Amino acid sequence: MVALPESVDTGAFCPARERYAAGVREETDMSLKSPKAFFAPLAVGAPQPLREIPARPSRAIHFFDPSNPKMVDKIPQMVGTVDVLLGNLEDAVKADKKIDARNGLIEIAKNTDFGPTQLWTRINSLDSPWVLDDLNELIPAIGQKLDVVMVPKVQGPEDIHYIDRILAQLEAKAGITKPILVHAILETARGVAEVEAIALASPRMQGISLGPADLAADRKMKTTRVGGGHPGYLVRQDAPKGADGTADIHAARAIFQQDLWHYTIAKMVDACAAAGIYPYYGPFGDITDVVACEDQFRNAFLLGCVGTWSLHPKQIEIANRVFSPSVEDIKHARRVVAAMGDGTGAVMLDGKMEDDASLKQCLVLVKLAEELAAIDPALKATYDAIEVD
């Protein structure tokens, strides 16, 4: 039993202090060196870290500015139509609105029943004058309702360790019973180089999103956009031979625009999959080009991402559709599952060989469809109506 020092204020009830006073020290491990210590709470009285990140649907992480009354008005009616509502405190919120945004988020969180919709926030960057107050004020006020804290401009695992410890201290002080998860944005060159270490930095790590705009600036790419492609990043078809046998470089040739983000998304997906956490595409800034937005989202879905950001209400429907397996995919997946019986061996289906590896891919889709159907009644009805021939 450890007695509290005389100097400690024993006024208001504080669960962490009570536990500390009772000598509950063995639950934490300050060394952080052994694999066992990885799952120890980082502050006495903080909730036990999760051993597995729950697979909660998060097709669209919808950004809103809690200092913008027009956006705030729309939040209650968005509950249930989007998987994640994210109160953004960082970029896109004007400097003189930072405090309003933080207070606005606290108000919305307190006064809204989020039902099946998750509540996330994006805090200010770790080098900003606002981040410490963001955490100090949000966690005691609404920590029990916050599912995930998104951390921008993460450079390496040390940034996650820093947030991890502060969250544990604040959770303990506020008596929060479920651990708040952490999501990193991949938007610095060093962050990309360290993505595997970031993904493994804490049991709180829920996932990682691509931040193409800041990443482009940090890498000194020569683009001026928020995500999406670029017409100059292309491959051109070979020139046909001219009459003199040399290449006719002026002949009409097909050009194929390439994906600027393929390498980074693939690297992020591998890091997340290896760590058991979830990868996301980020923002698509051309709000009017819903077609290219859908293409970018679909590329990310096919590569392994589970969701994306939506910046405008019109992007929510696109994300929900693209990040839900199609009827055709589920129909095919169920046929393969049925045809593969106990899952071993190989069979022919429509002229194609199916084996345990293609079965496993099909099971990824079937499992995702089940998870989405559990929270989306319209999608459930669609999937239930599928008839497998």
Cβ 88 to ligand LIB3CWND, closest distance in Å? 5
Nearest residue relative to Mg ion (C-beta): 214
Query: What is the C-alpha separation between 192 and 280, in angstroms, rounded?
Result: 14
Span interacting with ligand LIB3CWND, options 88-96, 266-274, 296-304, 380-388, rule CB under 6 A: 88-96
Edge-to-edge order in the sheet of strand 205-210: 278-280, 205-210, 181-186, 148-151, 118-122, 84-88, 60-64, 308-310
Query: What is the C-alpha separation between 173 and 21, in angstroms, rounded?
Result: 13
Pick the closer one to Mg ion by CB: 210 or 340: 210
With contacts defined by CB under 6 A, how many residues of the chain interact with ligand LIB3CWND?
A: 22
Write out the H or E segment, with its range, that includes residue 210.
strand 205-210
Residue 283 contacts Mg ion per CB under 5 A: no
Span interacting with Mg ion, options 213-221, 264-272, 292-300, 339-347, rule CB under 5 A: 213-221
Q: Which does 322 bind (CB under 5 to 8 A by kind): ligand LIB3CWND, Mg ion, none?
A: none
Q: Which does 70 bind (CB under 5 to 8 A by kind): ligand LIB3CWND, Mg ion, none?
A: ligand LIB3CWND
Residue of 83, 147, 159, 187 interacting with ligand LIB3CWND (CB under 6 A): 187
Query: Which residues partner with 181 through β-bridges?
Result: 148
Enumerate the known binding-site residues for Mg(2+).
187, 214
How far is the CA of 25 from the CAs of 32, 46, 66, 74, in angstroms? 15, 11, 39, 46
β-strands 60-64, 308-310: how paired?
A: parallel
Query: Which residues partner with 118 through β-bridges?
Result: 84
Cβ 229 to ligand LIB3CWND, closest distance in Å? 14
Residue type, 118: Q
Query: What is the C-alpha separation between 37 and 31, in angstroms, rounded?
Result: 7
Cβ 187 to Mg ion, closest distance in Å? 5
Cβ 315 to ligand LIB3CWND, closest distance in Å? 9
Pick the closer one to ligand LIB3CWND by CB: 67 or 206: 67
Query: Residues 285 to 314: which contact ligand LIB3CWND by CB under 6 A?
Result: 287, 311-313
Write out the H or E segment, with its range, that includes residue 181.
strand 181-186
Residue 214 contacts Mg ion per CB under 5 A: yes
| Cβ pair 182, 164 in contact under 8 A | yes
Cβ 215 to ligand LIB3CWND, closest distance in Å? 6
Pick the closer one to ligand LIB3CWND by CB: 89 or 372: 89
Cβ 67 to ligand LIB3CWND, closest distance in Å? 11
Q: From the DSSP assignment, how many helices (H) and strands (E) are in the chain?
A: 14, 12
User: Residue 226, CB half-sphere, CA atoms under 13 Å: how many?
Assistant: 14
Burial 225-249 (b: 16+ CB within 10 A, else e): ebbbbbeeeeeeeeeeeeeeeeeee
* CA trace torsion 138, 139, 144, 145 (10° rounding): 30
| Cβ pair 180, 204 in contact under 8 A | yes
Write out the H or E segment, with its range, that includes residue 189.
helix 189-193
Indicate the DSSP class of residue 9. -
Span interacting with Mg ion, options 23-31, 33-41, 208-216, 376-384, rule CB under 5 A: 208-216
With contacts defined by CB under 5 A, how many residues of the chain interact with Mg ion?
A: 3
Enumerate the known binding-site residues.
122, 187, 214
Q: Which does 313 bind (CB under 5 to 8 A by kind): ligand LIB3CWND, Mg ion, none?
A: ligand LIB3CWND
Residue 99 contacts ligand LIB3CWND per CB under 6 A: no
Enumerate the known binding-site residues for substrate.
122, 187
Query: What is the C-alpha separation between 69 and 47, in angstroms, rounded?
Result: 35
Cβ 136 to ligand LIB3CWND, closest distance in Å? 23
Q: Which does 283 bind (CB under 5 to 8 A by kind): Mg ion, ligand LIB3CWND, none?
A: ligand LIB3CWND
Query: Residues 207 to 226: which contact ligand LIB3CWND by CB under 6 A?
Result: 211-214, 226
* CA trace torsion 15, 17, 18, 20 (10° rounding): 120
The residues binding Mg ion (CB under 5 A) are 187, 211, 214
The residues binding ligand LIB3CWND (CB under 6 A) are 63-65, 70-71, 74, 88, 91-92, 185, 187, 211-214, 226, 282-283, 287, 311-313
